[in-house]
Amino acid sequence: MSLSQLSFDLASLQAAYRQGTTVLDVITEARRRSLADTHHAYIHVLSAAEVEPFIARLEGVDPASLPLYGVPFAIKDNIDLAHIPTTAACPAFAFTPDDTAFLVRQLLAAGAVPVGKTNLDQFATGLNGTRSPYGACQNAHNPAFVSGGSSSGSAVAVAKGYVAFALGTDTAGSGRVPAAFNGLIGLKPTLGLLSASGVLPACRSAETPSIFALTAGDAQTVLGAAAAFDEADAYSRPAQPLGVDFSGGPFRFGVPRPQDLAFFGNEAATALFASAVQRLESLGGTAVAFDLTPFLEVAKLLYEGPWVAERYIAIQSFIDAQPEAVFPPVRSIIEGGGRKSAAEAFAAAYRLKALRRVCDRVWRDVDCMLTPTAGTIYRIDEMQADPIRLNSNLGYYTNFVNLLDHCAVAVPAGVLASGDAQGLPWGVTLGAPAHKDIALLRLADRFHRALGGTLGATASDVASTPPCNGLPSGDLGTAGTGAVRVAVCGAHLSGLPLNHQLTSRGARLLASPLSAAEYKLYALAGGPVQRPGMVRAAEGGAAVALEVWEVPAALFGSFVAGIPAPLGIGKVKLADGSEVPGFICEGLGIVGATDITHFGGWRAWLAAGAPR
């Protein structure tokens, strides 16, 4: 395969390096593709001289020793790369930083090589990609349509195959809408996982750098390399265990009620969302309708409330001195932020706190939620003719996510089959509480593979890439899953009196196996809730019906503390020979108990007429 045909997904790059391709070869090809761009994806492509030090630092390094060895990437031009101008898509504002953003330094240390700074809606204010003096960024699949924004150029650079991944930022959907419109994975991580040091903020308290990638596995690798606690960033926070991993199923996913869905007249998108629900069900999910209206009220707070004042604070001295240098739609939004009062800020903060309490109730019933990423897509000329209203439509499903401290992954969901935008990609978003990023990426990967198709606007197919599994490197891998498996045999089984002690802790049922044929089961004396005792027997044992649950590690201690004698947690051997923590009984506990081994399990004994 020639370099011009090389796919820049990570697996293909790693294979090329194993076969002797050099970093210089790959980066030269990435620069060639980037310099040939006609979609206004870039503000600045690094020259051969500018990129040479990043290549030189990899000389003599074993490609297998770095997770992103020789991987070309692009950087949204509100994120600093030392000695390269940061413009935020405003030439009058541009400056050349002496330091590289903390986030970018993590990627460089992992072996990645920057290729260029990408175009964006000016000062990251917009969801459409047309608000830039460097040209309206064009959709990777059809240049007449918007690319999505504000991280427009980053998405197009990945979708066109110029680079392997790109950094964006996300306050209101800027890391997700462009992914949907260009057929990519768009990861909006948990707030604080990626440092914002060296990032020009749009809304500092509710913003995060984001990642565009061809596959969910690639996004996970990049996240693993980039996520690190930054003492200098007041909003940085360490990675936490992801807890119960619902990605393998069975799982429950929230879907907005039919009356809450909005597709703005796009019937093809309506059909694709219905298909997306069915696809997620085919992967082991159960759809649960939820009320989207409180989430939409949160969304209004982001632009109609005082949070817009953060945009004004970020560039206050500049916009006060040179308002004419700012695009009119951007200027009207940012200047409006300067008129917000402290009283409005506190009133909105109180309202957000109350709404978050309401919105968080959805997690009692579901593991994740599924929404469209954007209800529809628009032509560039349509957007420029009606920039405020149509841009607002694009944020219908995205504006609430950061204010509620959710993580989210945009994933391709098919191609629009009719209408003006026929043939363009369309996507959905999977959302979950903070620190569920890895579970969402794994589920997004399964969804993407079930859909099939090409990666972005390239000729490469998702089926040719390895699945997303395992834990990433770095802080996220160290945090681990944070879950403990436990086998239950009696009153904690699904639907029985003590099962709530598991479900109230967010535990998830994994399987219903049999134990090894080495146990005796007894109905213990006492109550009020009658319980069994399972004892490993030297002879005369049998297989016992069990359930294996996954319990968040942080809550496992309180669960165990509530177990009364003679019961406890030990190792239970399953029929397949593996062992898992589970309920066992002390030998003295079976004195006076009834041997019910021949029933094969607690449920069978109950069904035979035993008292509950």
In three-state secondary structure terms, 312 is helix
Q: Amino acid identity of 59? A: E
Q: DSSP string covering 108-127, please?
A: HHTT-EEEEEE--SGGG--S
For 212, phi then psi, to 5°, come to -105, 135
Alpha carbon dihedral 220, 226, 232, 233, in 10-degree steps, equals -30
Which residues, including other chains, have CB under 8 Å from residue 506's CB and lie 6 or more apart?
A: 243, 244, 551, 552, 555
Where residue 460 falls (left for φ over 0; alpha for ψ -120 to 50; beta otherwise) is beta
The alpha helices in 498-597, defined as continuous H runs, are: 500-503, 553-561
Question: Is 282 marked active-site?
Answer: no
Query: Given 3-state DSSP classes, what are the helix, strand and coil percentages for the chain, each rounded to the nearest 5?
Result: 35, 20, 45
Catalytic residue among 132, 147, 174, 236: 174
Backbone phi, then psi, for 434, in 5-degree steps? -50, 145
Q: 150 an active-site residue? A: yes
DSSP state of 517: S
Taking alpha carbons only, the member of 240, 137, 165, 285 closest to residue 552 is 240
Angle, alpha carbons 409-397-162 (nearest 5°) = 45
- Residues 149/129, Cβ–Cβ less than 8 Å: yes
Structure-token pair, residue 123: 């000062």
- Give dist(CA 470, CA 223) in Å, integer: 13
Q: Reduced to 3 states, what is the DSSP secondary structure of residue 519?
A: strand
Q: Alpha-carbon distance 160 to 158, whole Å?
A: 6
| Catalytic residue from among 7, 12, 34, 76 | 76
Among the residues of 360-467, which ranges form H helices? Answer: 380-385, 387-394, 437-451
Residue 174 is among the residues annotated as catalytic for this protein: yes
Which residue in the list 150, 152, 195, 460 is annotated as catalytic? 150
Strand partners, 72: 113
> Active-site positions?
76, 150, 174
